[in-house]
Structure 1
C-alpha cells in the first residue's frame, strides 16, 4: 500500500546579520572604545594610578556607552535616536494638528511628518489612485486581495501556493525596476454580528432542539472573539530604477503611471498563480477611507463615495517616546527583529494574525533584489565573515557558534539564488491600536506573547513611533530602515 501523504512545507529564516567594523562591533562602538583608550593611556602614563582615577569618569563612561544596553541596543547606538527625538520634541515637531483655515495645496495628502510630501494622482485609464513621493521618487498603487483559508488546505495545495507566491516575487526581482511590495493584514475586532445576524434572520429555531442549543452556544462563545480581516497589497515603483522604461512609456508622471499599470498587470498574474484573488485596485474614495480608518478606528465612511484623499489624514496626532496618540486612539509599533530559526510551517504567523480582541495591522515590506546585486552582497558578506574569523584567530578570541550560523545562512542564500529563487530584503512591523494607554499596554503584551508562540521576537520601537506608525499602518510601501 502506497502512502500518498506528504510532509508539510516548512520554512526557516536566517539570523539578523550582526556584522560590525571590528570583531562584530559597530563603527560607533569601536569609536567609543578608541577614544576611551586615547584618554586612559596618556592619563596613566602622565599621572600613574591617580591620573587614571581622575579620568575614570570619562573613559569609564565611554566604555559603558559601548557595552551597556538600553532598550535592547548598545547605548551609543541608541543615542542618535534619542537625541533626534529630543530635538523634535523641543521644536514642537512631535505634534500635528489639522488646520482647516490653511488648506493644503491641491493634490497633496494631509499626513503628518515626512509623509506630508506625498501627492496623489488618479490614473485616467483605470481610475486607480496612485501616490507619488517626490522625495523618495516612488509611485504606489494599493489593491485589496481576497484568499481562502490557507490552513485548511492540503499540504500539496499549500506548497503549490507558496511556490506561486515565490515566483511572483522572483518576477518582480527579475524586472530590475526596483519595485517594492507591502503586504498588510488588518484585523478589526467586531461585535460578531456577521456570525449571529444571519442566524437571527434565517435560522429555524425549534425550542429544545439539541442542534439549535449547541449552535447558539457556539455562537455565544465565538462572537466575542470575532474579527474582520482585510489583506492589502501596495506596489511601489522606483522611478529612478525604472527611468528607461518610463521614458519609453511617455516620460514624466504620465509615463510612470503607464509603466506602473504594466507592473500591476504582471503582479495580478503572479497572484493568480498563487490562487490569490485581486479584488480591486483602490480608487480615491476607497483609499481615502482606508487611510482615514487607520487614524480614527471608529470611522465608518467606507461606503461614502465623496471621500477625498486631500482630507484623509488625522485631525490631531501626538508622538510620545513609546507610543503615538491619533484622533480617538493610541497606537504602538513593534518591530519583528527575529523570525523563526527552526523549521516552521508556512502559516507560522497564525497565532499572531488571529489573536482575538485586538485591533492590529501586520505589515511586511518586501524589497526584491536583482540577482547580480544579491550575488555581490553575498560575496561581500562572505569576505567580511572570513576577515572577522581571521582577526579573531589572530588575537586568540574564541569563535562563536552564532558567527558560523550566520555564515551558513549566507551560503544557503547563495544556494537558493543559484536554484533560481529571488533574494529579498524584508521588514516586519506590527501596529497595535487601543482606546486608552492602559489597554494599549495590555494589548502590546498579548501581541508579544503571541509572537513568541510563532517563533518570532519583537522589539518595541522607541523615539520613532510616528514614522513607524505611518510605515506599519498605512499602505504606502515606504522604505523601512
Structure 2
C-alpha cells in the first residue's frame, strides 16, 4: 500500500520568563538596621521605666517609646517613617546650602576638558580616544571611564515568535559577555523619544519626489514640511563604563593613566561590538564628543533638539552642552525649556511574561520620555557570597519565626525560591546582573507633565510593572535616567 508522508513544521513559541522579587528583607524579622535602632531606643526607655518603678515613669517616658514605635512601624509611601529621616535631612541640608538651584556662569571660563553640568557631574572630564575618535567620559571620583554607541534595530514587536526568541537568546549572550569580563562597572541601555525634525521626510522627498512646480508637488512638499517636526522618533544608545579600579593591573600594563584606561576600554568596546552584531543589533560606531554633547543638550533643552538635528554643526561642544538653569523641587526638575519627573520601576513583573512586555511603555505615543536600564554585573565570587548570605538570612529568619510562632507567608517563600534559582543559574555558568529601571518624563508645562506621568503609570500597569515617583533626588535621578553616562543613584 502506498504510504503518505506529511511534513509538519513545528511552530516556535516564545518562552515566558519571571523576574526575581525585590528583596525587602531586614536584619532581624524583616526589620532594617534603622528600625532596629529606633525600636531598641524605645525598648530601653520602656524597660528602664519599668525597672525604675513603673507608674508615673511610664507616663513620662511614653513620648519616647510611643514615638519609637510609630517611627518603626508606621509606613509612609510604602516605607517606614524612620527610613524617610535621612532623605528629609539630606534634602534640608541641600536646601539650606543652595544646592537645588544651578545657574551657569556665562562670563566665567571653565577649565579645559570639563563638562558644563550641574551638581556632582561638574567633576566629569572628557577624553578623546586618539585611535577610534570616541568621546570618553572620565569620572575621577567613581574611577570609571564611559563610552557611548548608538544602536539601530528592527521593531521587535513586528517580528515572528521564532525570530523574537532568537534575538532574546542572543541578547542574553551579550549580557553574559559583559559579566565575564570583570572590568565592566555598568552597562546602560537608554531608549528615548525625541521630537522629529523632519529631516527624514525631507530627504526622502528630495530623493524620490518630483518637484515639477505643480500644485500637487507644492502641497505635498508643504505637508512634509509641517508634519515632520510634529512627529517623534526613537533613539537607542548603549553605554559601557569601565571600572578602572578593577582593571588597574591591565591599565598599568597598557601604559597607565587615562591613555592606558582607554586602551583597556577599547578591548571591551571591540568585544561588545562583536557581541551586538552577533545579536543582529547594528551599532553605528562609538559617539564622538560632539555627538555626546548633542544628546546632553537635547536632554536638558528638548526644544532645541530639532534644530540641532537639522544643523549638524551646532551644539558640538561638551564645554557648552550643559543647561543654563536648573531648579530642583521635591518631586520634579525644571531645566531650560522643560519640566521633568523621574519614575523608578520598583517592581518588575512577578508572574510569567513574554519578551516585549514593556511595549506599552516604550511604544506610548505623544509622550517625550527616556527609559534607562542600568545593568550592574557582579563577579562570580561576589555573586556566590551574596547568594550564600541571603540563604543563611532566610534560613535563620525562618527558624526565628518558627520559634516565636510567626506564620511563614508566601512572600518569604517566593524570595527564598528566587535565591535558589539564582544559585542554580550561577552554578550553570550564567552571569548575575542587578537591574535598575528608570523612566524620565518630559513636558513643556507642569499640567502636561502630570498628565504624562499618569499615562506612563497606566502603561506600566499594563506591562505588569510597578512604578514610583522618586522624591528628594530628582536631579540625580534625571542624570541617571536621561543621560547616557552610566550614572547611578
Q: TM-score normalized by structure 1?
A: 0.92
Question: Residues of 2 paired with 1:199 and 1:258: CA distance?
Answer: 44
* Counterpart selection for 1:246 from 222, 245, 251: 251
* Counterpart selection for 1:344 from 353, 356, 361: 353
Contact 2:343 2:439 in 1 (8 A): yes
Secondary structure in 2 matching 1:334: strand
Task: Give CA deviations for 1:349-376 in whole Å, capped at 9, x if unaligned.
Answer: 0000011111100000001112222112
Task: Give CA deviations for 1:18-68 in whole Å, capped at 9, x if unaligned.
Answer: 121110110001111111111122234445343323332222111111111
Give the 3 Å change call, closer, same or farther, for CA 439–197 of structure 1 in structure 2. Answer: farther
Alignment of 1:198-277 (within 5 A): 202=209, 226-277=231-282
Task: Give CA deviations for 1:277-301 in whole Å, capped at 9, x if unaligned.
Answer: 0012111211101100000011122
Secondary structure in 2 matching 1:345: coil
Contact 2:100 2:328 in 1 (8 A): yes
Gaps of 5+ in 2: 1-5, 212-223
Matched residue, 1:301: 308
Question: Residues of 1 paired with 2:342 and 2:323: CA distance?
Answer: 17
Matched residue, 1:36: 42
Question: Residues of 2 paired with 1:72 and 1:249: CA distance?
Answer: 49
Secondary structure in 1 matching 2:184: coil
Question: Residues of 1 paired with 2:417 and 2:313: CA distance?
Answer: 53
Alignment of 1:409-428 (within 5 A): 409-428=418-437
Instruction: Say if 2:200 is the partner of 1:188.
Output: no
Contact 1:190 1:227 in 2 (8 A): yes
Q: CA deviation at 1:168?
A: 1.4
Q: CA deviation at 1:386?
A: 0.6
Question: Residues of 2 paired with 1:191 and 1:93: CA distance?
Answer: 35
Secondary structure in 2 matching 1:421: coil
Task: Give CA deviations for 1:178-218 in whole Å, capped at 9, x if unaligned.
Answer: 342000000124588967996898499xxxxxxxxxxxxxx
Task: Give CA deviations for 1:52-94 in whole Å, capped at 9, x if unaligned.
Answer: 2333222211111111122321111111011101110111011
Alignment of 1:39-438 (within 5 A): 39-46=45-52, 48-190=54-196, 202=209, 226-299=231-304, 300-302=307-309, 303-304=312-313, 307-438=316-447
Contact 1:295 1:327 in 2 (8 A): yes
Give the 3 Å change call, closer, same or farther, for CA 93–224 of structure 1 in structure 2. Answer: closer
Question: Residues of 2 paired with 1:296 and 1:48: CA distance?
Answer: 64
Contact 2:374 2:437 in 1 (8 A): yes
Secondary structure in 2 matching 1:344: coil
Alignment of 1:442-457 (within 5 A): 442-457=451-466
Matched residue, 1:214: none
Secondary structure in 1 matching 2:42: helix
Contact 1:189 1:357 in 2 (8 A): no
Give the 3 Å change call, closer, same or farther, for CA 5–244 of structure 1 in structure 2. Answer: same
Contact 1:226 1:356 in 2 (8 A): no
Q: Tell me whether 415-424 or 453-462 shows the greater mean CA deviation.
A: 415-424
Gaps of 5+ in 1: 205-218
Contact 1:11 1:343 in 2 (8 A): yes
Query: What is the root-mean-square deviation in Å for CA atoms of aligned residues?
Result: 2.2
Question: Residues of 1 paired with 2:261 and 2:275: CA distance?
Answer: 21
Question: Residues of 2 paired with 1:365 and 1:334: CA distance?
Answer: 14
Contact 2:294 2:315 in 1 (8 A): no
